[in-house]
Structure 1
Amino acid sequence: MVNELSIGTLLESEDATPSHVLAAKLNRHTFWCGQSGSGKTYALGVLLEQVLLQTRLPLVILDPNSDFVRLGEIRDDAPADAAAQLAARDIRVFRSSAEDGAPLHVKFLGMPVRSRAAILQVDPLYDAEDYNVMLQLEHELGAFRGASVPDVAFDHTKLLAYLRSSDDPARHRLAMRLENLGVADWRLWAWGHRSVIDDIDERPDATVVDLGGFATPAESRAAALAVLDHLWEHRDDRIGRLIVIDEAHNLCTPTPSSPVEKLLTERIVQIAAEGRKYGLWLLLSTQRPSKVHPNALSQCDNLALMRMSSPRDLAELGEVFGYAPESLLERSPGFAQGQALFAGGFVDQASLVQMGSRLTHEGGSDVRVPLR
């Protein structure tokens, strides 16, 4: 049984001493950060590949920039033994765009009523009557769908027609919200088709949830909320999972504005505070630590820091992650691409690392400067 995950070599070691992360300590929350151009996403891929190779820990990756959609595509220069092992892993990618791959769907009526209300901007207090109708509809809609319409045929048109078949003005208002906000037409909804939640429950080695191709940020955040809601609702199953949230500042901001943003931040902070005992372990990755909610940041016992030039961000990291030596934090602005400081429980001691090579392809790509 391998507990050490090879991630690269120790910087400034004469014989390129291998550097490792302790797999057993991924049962603590991890913070992964580095400014644009530091190699943050590439380096994170190195760790995730090792998790796939050496552990049975299921990965759930919320991927807003489509950076990990090629996690199952192995490079031609990957060592043969590692390539064979990765090829045997069950890696499922769900796309929000119209590109090839499994479509990313979740069930609107499968989300908690509070989350559906947030999507429809129905406030439990200010829109008390409409919210109360949503509560009353819970059992009623389930019975109607099961008895009257086959699940595969139940779509937004059936839902709108059902709401409008009543004389209740509040139900008509809900139908109007679905239409006026464009929610009824979101490509995200599974209706009678398979949801990404069904696949997550089958515990593949990795589930990549591509959030980058939706038409609006609201749709992307609703997809993330559906996944996190489900994992939290089933926390008592105590299935160890590493929940990777890339660009975490987009989903866990200190200043959420919309109802869905507020719920998302609340859910991530809740998992950060209480999820460890249920086997829900976060890996939050971002360019800007100051843009991540402090109540999530402060729960992270592992730190991977790449190049970070902002004095404000470095000062905050020093305050939050007291286990990271100040002398090493101070070197971060001078890191070359692919160099990182690892500190906390998942390493034997704080150290500077040159990250190793990827075995799989990166998904996202920069827009190139056009040349004449």
Structure 2
Amino acid sequence: MSAEMPIGTLLDSSDPAYLRALKFNRHTFWCGQSGSGKTYALGVVLEQVMLHTRLPLVILDPNSDFVHLDTPQDSAPEDAAAQLSSRDVRVLRPGGEGDDQLRVRFVDMDIRSRAAVLQLDPVLDAEEYNAMLQIRSEYTFGDDRRLAEWLENHENPMMHRLALRLHNLGVLDWDLWAWGRHDVTDVVNEVPDATVIDLGGFDSAAQLQTTALAVLDQLWAQRHERTGRLVVIDEAHNLAAPDADTPLARALTERIVQIAAEGRKYGIWLLLSTQRPSKLHPNVISQCDNLALMKMSSTRDLDELGQIFGFAPSELLERAPKFQQGQALFAGGFAAEPQLVQMGARMTREGGSDVPIGIR
């Protein structure tokens, strides 16, 4: 396979269009308004990454759009379909069975993340926060189900208050916890070709955010191993909003901002997909060196993108409002030169879909 990945055809000449596989070692910002074909086009590129590189993918998938990345379509070229079928793709789902279950171990989460789940402030709730610091060193059962009972029976009254928080917030009732079993970080640590983390089946934003935070915390904790991963965050505004308003949302945003600022040197590269630049934290966008832009009608958003991504020619940005579905501007390190592209066809099955309207 070549380091040049075919993604479609050039809009102005119909010649093949390519992206540079080796330049995905930069953060990428992927943007396009609803209906632009953003998710479909992203799938085209992720398939090519799987075909042309050994770069492991970790995909945070809030709408279940990439859950069939392991299933080639009948129309896919035979050779490419065979290669995609041979890739090690793990799809983890809430309520899944066996190794497909999407689970998190609460007791193994970063202390600040556990505090965010319990809405604890290290200053305002100093005594409870300090008590939680003791849990990892004292709690030896490795089973989240027994945690509340252990806290209730502890001699420290602050532990009793932590148990009360767990019950009052309903945290132990979440269909999320691993109860001491295999969890999502174990799968990520096995470094498959792609780990698709289906966040679309959770009943609450808090469970989605907790899962994403557990994964990103683990990647950051192991950053010195310099494994090299492309972390794809679809609908990234749900995970890194500029106005995060809960402790959990703020903790998740702060972790993504930290990875955006420092992750590149450790081989943690972000690909962030969203509808509008204003929906994503500015300290994340400013760290991106690759731009993929699909249809964008807002002149304000286009002006903002022009200021952030000075390497994207203004005359090409100005064409974005007239893009048809599946058309995109690529600029930055992963494009030999700024180019307008008509995206090619997906080779694997799509996941999420629009709600149909019945015809009488």
TM-score (norm 2): 0.98
SS at match of 1:160: helix
Secondary structure of the structure 2 residue equivalent to 1:172: helix
**1:173 matches 2:166:** no
Task: Calculate the aligned-residue CA RMSD, in Å.
Answer: 1.2
Q: In the alignment, what sits opposite 1:344?
A: 332
Match of 2:12 in 1: 12
Q: 1:140 aligns with which of 127, 138, 141?
A: 138
**SS, match of residue 336 in structure 1:** coil
One-letter amino acid matched to 2:298: S
- Corresponding position of 1:356: 344
C-alpha change, 1:161 and 1:97, in structure 2 (3 Å) is closer
CA offsets, 1:22-44, max 9 Å, x none? 01100000001101110000000
Match of residue 84 from structure 1 = 82
Q: Secondary structure at the match of 1:19?
A: strand
For 1:33, which of 31, 34, 56 is the aligned residue?
31
Query: Deviations for 1:32-60, whole angstroms, at most 9, x for unmatched residues?
Result: 11011100000000000000001000000
Alignment partner of 2:126 out of 112, 124, 128: 128
Tell me by how many angstroms 1:167 deviates.
3.5
Q: CA deviation at 1:8?
A: 0.5
Query: Is the CA contact (8 Å cut-off) linking 2:57 and 2:195 kept in structure 1?
Result: yes
SS of the residue corresponding to residue 37 of structure 1 reads coil
Deviations 1:62-85 (A, max 9, x none): 000111011111100100000000
Determine the C-alpha separation between the residues in 2 that align with 1:307 and 1:195: 38
Correspondences of 1:84-123 after superposition (within 5 Å): 84-97=82-95, 102-123=100-121
The one of 223, 226, 232 equivalent to 2:214 is 226
| Deviation digits for residues 233-285 of structure 1 (CA, Å, limit 9, x no counterpart) | 00000011000000000001111111111111111111111001100000000
Partner of residue 58 from structure 2, selected from 43, 53, 60 = 60
Name the CA distance, whole Å, in 2 between partners of 1:236 and 1:168. 36
In 2, distance between residues paired with 1:281 and 1:4? 19
Aligned to 2:322: 334
Cα distance per residue 1:80-100 (max 9 Å; x no partner)? 000000010000000124589
**SS of structure 2 residue aligned to 1:359:** coil
Amino acid at match of 1:128: A
Counterpart Cα distance in 1 of 2:173 and 2:62: 21
1:189-204 pair list within 5 angstroms: 189-204=177-192
Alignment of 1:244-259 (within 5 A): 244-259=232-247
Structure 1 unpaired stretches of 5+ = 146-150
Tell me how far 1:303 sits from its aligned partner.
0.3
Match of 1:162 in 2: 150
**In 2, Cα distance between the equivalents of 1:61 and 1:74?**
18
In 1, the alpha carbon distance for the partners of 2:159 and 2:99 equals 37
Deviation, 1:168, is 2.5
Q: Give the distance between the partners of 1:200 and 1:99, measured in 2 at CA.
A: 18
Residue equivalent to 1:291: 279
Match of 2:255 among 267, 272, 275: 267
Given that 2:96 and 2:102 are in contact with CA atoms closer than 8 Å, whether structure 1 keeps it comes out as: no
| Identity rate, percent | 64
Among candidates 168, 171, 174, match of residue 186 of structure 1:
174
Residue 4 of structure 2 aligns with an amino acid whose one-letter code is E
Deviations 1:142-182 (A, max 9, x none): xx32xxxxx4xx242x1111111123221111111111111
Report the 3-state secondary structure (helix = DSSP H, G, I; strand = E; otherwise coil) of the residue aligned with 2:9. Answer: strand
Please say if residues 295 and 328 of structure 2, whose CA atoms lie closer than 8 Å, have aligned partners that are also in contact: yes
Deviation per CA, 1:178-205: give whole Å up to 9, x if none.
Answer: 1111111111111221111111111100
CA contact (8 A) 2:107 2:144 kept: no
Tell me how far apart the structure 2 counterparts of residues 193 and 164 of structure 1 sit (CA, whole Å): 23
Give the Cα separation in 1 of the matches to 2:95 and 2:306: 39
| 8 A Cα contact 2:240 2:253, kept in partner | yes
For residues 240 and 69 of structure 1, the distance between their equivalents in structure 2, rounded to whole angstroms, comes to 22
AA at the equivalent of 1:47? V
Q: Secondary structure at the match of 2:328?
A: strand
CA distance in 2, matches of 1:66, 1:99: 17
8 Å CA contact 1:95, 1:101 repeated in 2: no
Distance, in Å, in 2 between the alignment partners of 1:360 and 1:100 is 24
Cα pair distance change 1:196/1:21, threshold 3 Å: same
1:148 aligned residue: none
SS at match of 1:51: helix
One-letter amino acid of the structure 2 residue matched with residue 63 of structure 1: D
Conserved in 2, the CA contact under 8 Å of 1:106 and 1:226? Answer: yes
